């Protein structure tokens, strides 16, 4: 059930060997069969007709000349065509002219649920890659200019006395569903959530920390309880800007909560029936329901659905 989760399953071959060959890469940038996915202010260009899909343009149709500075190789498609994410910069650049009535630049979070399987994985890769390059133009070690290499797989400092390589970051976040052993799960809400919305607790994995330790620490810090029996369930790329959500289950040793109100506005235990009603409300985009879960875009939705199905002995919920 997690295989096709949003922002995953890019079908592209990332071409690790080929991309290290500078001549091959330059030939792909000049190849009339190469395909470019334009992003303007990190919004992908999307064809809306007949169904939403990322727009794939040829170099001749672009408002800028694609180069190693603005075009990052995402991989090769099934036909062997090179596919690049193309950074058109911010809203003030000429890229906006590519928009048409049935072809628009659309916020990634808004359009991702409407894209076919795999397409949102390409979108996540492209958005994270462009964002990382835009924020790493200078060497963190010496301050000199850096340039992309290997089709954007890394950047290299141009100071001959430094030459440091910098690699795109992915930040791990644990997101966990805590069970109390009596058929309830712990959910919380932050002050900025829409009214009535609850989700699984989550937090960044710290340096020098295992996934299991991060789960235990985050639950201890936010909810004031100890957990064990930590199980990895599934993961999801989250391209805002570049996070890997690591979904886990855990079992609480006790149920009396001590909430850190700096992190959470509220957290409490929910029964199976409550969780099932919240899941249905979030899927139906029911704004009237008193409590809701995150939409199917987010891994929290699928973790809760998985928990309900696992414990019900019933047929899986419809997608």
48 touches Zn ion (CB under 5 A): no
- To Zn ion, the closest distance from the beta carbon of 169 in angstroms equals 17
CA distances (Å), 92 to each of 41, 72, 208, in order? 9, 21, 42
Span of 99-107, 143-151, 186-194, 201-209 interacting with Zn ion by CB under 5 A:
143-151
For Zn ion, which stretch binds (CB under 5 A), given 11-19, 48-56, 144-152, 268-276?
144-152
Compare residues 141 and 253 and give the one whose CB is closer to Zn ion. 141
Asked whether 111 and 52 are in contact (CB, 8 A), the reply is: yes
Convert residues 152-191 into a mask of x (bound to Zn ion by CB under 5 A) and - (unbound).
Answer: -----x-x--x-x---------------------------
Q: Binding Zn ion by CB under 5 A: which of 139, 185, 300, 303?
A: 139
283's tokens:
């899927």
Using the contact rule CB under 5 A, the part of the chain among 20-28, 56-64, 134-142, 194-202 near Zn ion is: 134-142
- Minimum separation from the CB atom of position 139 to Zn ion (A): 3
What is the closest distance, in whole angstroms, from the C-beta atom of residue 71 to Zn ion in the complex? 24
Q: What's the min distance (Å) between Cβ of 132 and Zn ion?
A: 17
Distance in angstroms (rounded) separating the CA atoms of residues 144 and 134: 15
CB 157 to Zn ion: min, Å:
3
- Phi, psi angle pair for 70, to nearest 5°: -120, -10
* Only segment of 125-133, 149-157, 175-183, 230-238 that touches Zn ion (CB under 5 A): 149-157
At closest approach, how far in Å is the CB of 140 from Zn ion? Answer: 8
- Which residue number, 159 or 190, has a Cβ lying nearer to Zn ion? 159
Provide, rounded to whole angstroms, the least separation between the CB of residue 155 and Zn ion: 10
Nearer to Zn ion, 94 or 143 (CB): 143
How far is residue 84's CA from residue 100's CA, in Å, rounded to a whole number? 21
The region of 86-94, 131-139, 220-228, 232-240 touching Zn ion under the rule CB under 5 A is 131-139
Q: Which is nearer to Zn ion, 160 or 208 (CB)?
A: 160
Among 141, 169, 210, 231, binds Zn ion (CB under 5 A): 141
- How many Å apart are CA 86 and CA 45, to the nearest integer? 10
Q: Which two tokens mark 210?
A: 């295992």
**Among 178, 177, 175, which residue's Cα sits nearest to residue 252?**
178
Name the segment binding Zn ion (CB under 5 A); options: 16-24, 132-140, 259-267, 298-306.
132-140
CB of 96 to Zn ion, least distance (A): 35
Here the contacts of 275-283 (C-beta below 8 Å, separation 24 or greater) are 275/185, 275/187, 275/304, 275/307, 275/308, 276/308, 278/198, 278/304, 279/304, 279/305, 279/308, 279/317
Residues making contact with Zn ion (CB under 5 A): 139, 141-142, 144, 157, 159, 162, 164
């Amino acid at each position: 059930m997690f295989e096709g989760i949003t922002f995953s399953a890019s079908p592209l071959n990332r071409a690790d060997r080929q991309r290290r060959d500078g001549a091959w890469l330059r030939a792909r940038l000049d190849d009339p069969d190469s395909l470019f996915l334009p992003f303007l202010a990190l919004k992908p260009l999307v064809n809306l007709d007949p169904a939403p899909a990322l727009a794939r343009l040829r170099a001749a149709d672009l408002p800028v000349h694609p180069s190693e500075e603005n075009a990052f190789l995402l991989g090769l498609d099934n036909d062997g065509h090179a596919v690049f994410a193309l950074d058109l910069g911010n809203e003030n650049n000429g890229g906006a002219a590519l928009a048409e009535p049935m072809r628009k630049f659309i916020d990634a979070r808004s359009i991702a649920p409407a894209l076919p399987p795999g397409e949102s994985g390409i979108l996540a890769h492209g958005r994270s890659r462009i964002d990382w390059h835009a924020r790493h133009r200078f060497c963190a070690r010496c301050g000199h200019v850096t340039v992309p290499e290997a089709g954007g797989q890394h950047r290299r400092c141009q100071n001959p006395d430094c030459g440091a390589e910098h690699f795109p970051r992915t930040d791990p976040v644990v997101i966990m569903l805590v069970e109390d052993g009596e058929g309830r799960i712990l959910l919380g809400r932050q002050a900025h959530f829409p009214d009535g919305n609850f989700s699984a607790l989550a937090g960044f994995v710290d340096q020098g920390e295992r996934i299991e330790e991060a789960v235990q620490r985050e639950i201890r810090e936010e909810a004031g309880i100890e957990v064990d029996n930590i199980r990895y369930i599934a993961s999801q790329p989250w391209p805002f800007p570049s996070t890997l959500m690591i979904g886990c289950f855990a079992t609480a040793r006790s149920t009396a909560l001590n909430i850190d109100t700096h992190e959470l506005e509220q957290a409490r235990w929910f029964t199976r029936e409550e969780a099932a009603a919240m899941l249905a409300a979030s899927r139906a985009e029911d704004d009237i329901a008193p409590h809701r879960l995150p939409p199917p875009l987010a891994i929290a939705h699928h973790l809760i659905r998985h928990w309900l199905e696992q414990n019900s002995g019933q047929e899986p919920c419809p997608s």
